[in-house]
Amino acid sequence: MGLEYDTKTDNDNYYINKIIDAVNTLDFYSMKESIKEAIDMGVSVIDIIKRGVIVGLEESGEMGLILAAEALEGEIILNDEQEQKRLKKSRRYSGKVVIGTIKGDIHSLGKNIASIIMKSYGMDVIDLGVDVEPKEFEKFAYLPEVKVIGISFLLSSVENRIKEVMSLLKKGELKDKVKVILGGAAVSPEIAAETNADAFATDAIQGVNIIEKWLRN
């Protein structure tokens, strides 16, 4: 049969290496261009993030993280509609995930990346944005299709708001219907325990892996 190789993988590797180089060298313009190019060439969002951006970040540290988050946000959210059409065919889960940054906190980058990764895994995500009132999370928890609430927070000062969400869910007898996962830079095992959340994740991939198990049950 002669030499066989996977053309799609070779092709993807070419675009992914370009992303790694751009993130390594902290070149914001190249990050945007290479991410856009990879999307246009059909590389999956999850590969762009997992095999490209995250590998590049090993070299470039915190500054790279901030620039890459901005670049991803711009390029991937712009392409979201197209991506969603592609993903509709491959939805694998029943039940929706609601995600938002809790009231008092306006950090959006990590929440947006988490939401993009969830969508790229084929999950149905309702993104409530930032500075979301506890009552708003509760309102969405009543929707029959909602099974997971993801709360993002980067400020430690908002812990009480998370407790508020949890007590509203308890009062509404929604605790068995929806599971709550915490994410964002301020997350810790202590806060997860104090707030009584079902789980916490220190990065988006870890979070998606947990949610995947919940949506399969």
Note the residues at the interface with ligand B12 (CB under 6 A). 62, 65-66, 69, 99, 104-111, 113-114, 150, 152, 154-157, 181, 183-186, 201, 203-204, 207
Positive or negative torsion for Cα 194, 109, 80, 76: negative
Task: Using the minimum distance from each CB to ligand B12, give the nearer residue, 55 or 66.
Answer: 66
Q: How far is the CB of 196 from ligand B12 (least distance, A)?
A: 16
Q: How far is the CB of 203 from ligand B12 (least distance, A)?
A: 4
Q: How far is the CB of 157 from ligand B12 (least distance, A)?
A: 6
Q: Which amino acid is at 138?
A: E
Residue 97 β-bridge partners: 125, 148
Task: Using the minimum distance from each CB to ligand B12, give the nearer residue, 20 or 125.
Answer: 125
DSSP string, 60-77: HHHHHHHHHHHHHHHHHH
Task: Using the minimum distance from each CB to ligand B12, give the nearer residue, 42 or 129.
Answer: 129
Q: How many CA atoms lie within 13 A of 62 on its CB side?
A: 1
Q: CA 69 to CA 109: how far, in whole Å?
A: 6
Task: Using the minimum distance from each CB to ligand B12, give the nearer residue, 35 or 154.
Answer: 154
Contact 165, 149 (CB under 8 A): yes
Q: CA 80 to CA 128: how far, in whole Å?
A: 16
Nearest residue to ligand B12, using CB?
Answer: 110
Q: How far is the CB of 189 from ligand B12 (least distance, A)?
A: 14
